[in-house]
């Protein structure tokens, strides 16, 4: 979940690397560091900071004459966030320097077998890699030492290595963790995400697992060679143009990325409608429909917010397409696989398309011959490339760690997919999604009212969301948003379950937020809310016009009941946002979290 960047070229390497790290902070921001070659002094310099990448600008100065460098922004996996555990790391003799994203599962065994006499300066598994390279380079070339090292590693890793005896090369390896190459006439840049390449690359290349990359400077020319783990050169790299819209990368006048991305959600729905419109109907591609022929059960695998979208997808599949569905948390499914119907298909949902738990699931189910379909926001991601087929949610770049617009994009695409598979009466999704987008805009335009509501309602370190059916699934997402950016302990609970234990936690003035969008169970949820109110909980109701009562706090424009999550989720996002703003916490980068979970 860390971010790594490397550069060799005509530009100022320290600047390229640090700007790249700033754009990768969503991957982790416990600590950061950069190493560059000072050409005037003929020495490698390493600067490190605890916390945000901005510290690398604020606390250090950089010479103009540096054109080779690597850097890292960290989400701690091994060792606490302190200076000694901050990357880059040096080998014991200080010859080799490394930055690494991933986890080496067998690092302790490797130390015992190959490095018993080495002194380690940190608690990280990364030091094991760089010291293995040093150990094996005593009798091998650097390239051979790296190949020998990766032949021993178990786990996920993408790393960059500098050799202090050679200022014309960067060595890189990719296996399971993301790594891309950016190219221009001015130099070569490597990074965990294409965002790091903006302004410094004209094109970028996708890499397969077990790739070894050697980037070389030869006078004023820059080139790279990609081989597999044993040395066979890859001649089939996929080259893509850098076509990012810079507006995606700034706040466009909003105070935070999260508020910007909440406000973009109606546009996401309209973008999806445009991309999936065929003959005035919303449809998936014919080859994707054919994948579901003779399928008796669908398994949806996801994590976090995507898991909550998957729960709603189950409702679409079962009510509209009449296909039984099971939804699993990916990290649980990967190592606790249930009995699977042989006529099954797997749908894997991930914003980034790089989620490690999902990747493990994908590898397992493909090996067993099951069909796989990914739904992602990044069509060039690992999951998109390795699944049998993929659907794009067209949400655009999402910077805030707390996902918002990707969630509604996933729900909309799941609705289109299920509707495409319907053999009976399908929904008029063109009309219904259009109406949903208008309803979404309506509540976003009234966000100042929600801000006022938050100031008067939320004065507790605990909160509950409750709902039934599809509203319960939105309650889970609302609770996740509130806890992850405000640090308020929040649970999403099936309303009928309050009396089966959670009611013991209801105390005076604890907010209990009920989501009520389904008319047939409206009275049941209201009854449960009254029970909480009787224990002095502070009730708040989010409802649609057709389910509303006179005292409801937030009433939303009516939409089709199956599409209600697109609308009811928005007040929950705004509640979380405005409470976090009131508390003065970092909304876009909440503590201890990272956006792309690329380690298991």
Give the dihedral of Cα atoms 197, 198, 200, 206; nearest 10 deg: 30
The 8-class DSSP code of residue 183 comes to: E
Q: How many Å apart are CA 80 and CA 92, to the nearest integer?
A: 21
Which phi and psi angles does 440 have, rounded to 5°? -60, -45
Catalytic machinery residues = 2, 595
User: How many CA atoms are closer than 13 Å to the CA of 68, on its beta-carbon side?
Assistant: 24
What is the number of residues in the chain? 600
- How far, in Å, CA of 95 to CA of 114, rounded? 18
* Residue among 91, 102, 93, 83 at smallest CA distance from 33: 83
Distance from the Cα of residue 148 to its chain's centroid: 32
Q: Which two tokens stand for residue 458?
A: 């939320």
Strand ranges (DSSP E) for 388-444? 389-392
* 397 and 244 Cβ atoms separated by less than 8 Å: yes
**Are 31 and 2 within 8 A, CB to CB?**
no
| Four-residue CA torsion sign, 103, 109, 113, 117 | positive
Q: What is the DSSP string of 336-385?
A: S-----SSEEEEEEESSS--HHHHHHHHHHHHTT-EEEEEES-TTSHHHH
Distances (CA, A) of 181 to 34, 37, 351, 447: 18, 20, 21, 41
How many alpha carbons lie under 13 Å from residue 81 in its C-beta half-sphere?
17
Q: Are 18 and 49 in contact (CB under 8 A)?
A: no
- Residue 34, judged by CB atoms within 10 A of its CB (0-12, 13-18, 19+), counts as buried
CA–CA dist 211, 213 (Å, integer): 6
Q: What is the Cα–Cα distance from 527 to 539, expressed in whole angstroms?
A: 12
């Amino acid at each position: 979940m860390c971010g790594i960047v490397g550069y060799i070229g005509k530009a100022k390497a320290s600047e390229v690397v640090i700007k790249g790290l700033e754009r990768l902070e969503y991957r982790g921001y416990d600590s950061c560091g950069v190493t560059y070659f000072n050409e005037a002094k003929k020495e490698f310099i390493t600067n490190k900071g605890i916390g945000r990448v901005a510290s690398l600008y604020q606390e250090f100065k950089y010479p103009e004459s540096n054109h080779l460098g690597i850097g890292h922004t960290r989400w701690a996996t091994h060792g606490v966030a302190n200076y000694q555990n901050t990357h880059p790391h040096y080998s014991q003799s200080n010859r080799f320097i490394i930055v690494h994203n991933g986890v080496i599962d067998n690092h302790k065994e490797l130390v015992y077998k190959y490095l018993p006499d080495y002194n380690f300066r940190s608690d990280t598994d990364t030091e094991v890699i760089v010291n293995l390279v040093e150990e094996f380079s005593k009798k091998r070339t650097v390239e051979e030492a790296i190949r020998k090292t990766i032949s021993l590693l178990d786990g996920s890793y993408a790393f960059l290595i500098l050799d202090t005896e050679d200022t014309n090369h960067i060595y890189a390896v990719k296996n399971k963790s993301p790594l891309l190459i950016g190219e221009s006439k001015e130099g070569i840049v490597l990074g965990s995400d294409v965002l790091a390449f903006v302004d410094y690359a004209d094109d970028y290349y996708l890499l397969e697992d077990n790739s070894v990359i050697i980037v070389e400077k030869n006078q004023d020319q820059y080139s790279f060679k990609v081989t597999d783990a044993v040395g066979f050169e890859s001649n089939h790299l996929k080259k893509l143009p850098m076509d990012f819209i810079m507006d995606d990368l700034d706040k466009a006048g909003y105070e935070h990325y999260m508020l910007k991305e909440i406000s973009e959600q109606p546009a996401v729905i309209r973008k999806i409608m445009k991309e999936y419109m065929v003959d005035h109907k919303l449809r998936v591609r014919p080859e994707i429909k054919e994948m579901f022929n003779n399928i008796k059960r669908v398994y949806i695998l996801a994590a976090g917010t995507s898991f909550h979208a998957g729960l709603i997808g189950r409702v679409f599949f079962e009510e509209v397409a009449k296909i039984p569905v099971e939804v699993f948390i990916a990290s649980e499914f990967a190592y606790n696989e249930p009995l699977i119907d042989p006529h099954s298909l797997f749908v894997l949902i991930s914003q980034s398309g790089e989620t490690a738990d999902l990747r493990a699931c994908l590898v397992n189910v493909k090996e067993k011959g099951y069909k796989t379909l990914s739904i992602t926001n990044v069509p060039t991601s690992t999951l998109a490339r390795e699944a049998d087929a993929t659907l794009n949610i067209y949400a655009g770049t999402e910077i805030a760690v707390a996902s918002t617009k990707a969630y509604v994009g996933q729900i909309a695409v799941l609705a289109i997919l299920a509707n495409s598979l319907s053999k009976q009466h399908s929904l008029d999704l063109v009309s219904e999604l259009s109406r949903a987008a208008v309803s979404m805009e309506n509540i976003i335009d009234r966000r100042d009212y929600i801000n006022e509501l938050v100031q008067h309602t939320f004065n507790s370190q605990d909160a509950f969301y409750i709902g039934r059916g599809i509203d319960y699934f939105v309650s889970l997402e609302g609770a996740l948003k509130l806890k992850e950016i405000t640090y308020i302990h929040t649970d999403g609970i099936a309303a009928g379950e309050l009396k089966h234990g959670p009611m013991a936690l209801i105390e005076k003035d604890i907010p209990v937020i009920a989501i009520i969008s389904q008319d047939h169970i409206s009275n049941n949820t209201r009854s449960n809310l009254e029970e909480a109110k009787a224990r002095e909980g502070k009730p708040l109701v989010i409802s649609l016009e057709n389910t509303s009562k006179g005292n409801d706090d937030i009433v939303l424009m009516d939409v089709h009941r199956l599409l209600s999550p697109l609308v009811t989720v928005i007040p929950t996002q705004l509640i979380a946002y405005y409470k976090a703003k009131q508390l003065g916490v970092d909304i876009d980068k909440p503590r201890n979290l990272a956006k792309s979970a690329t380690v298991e």
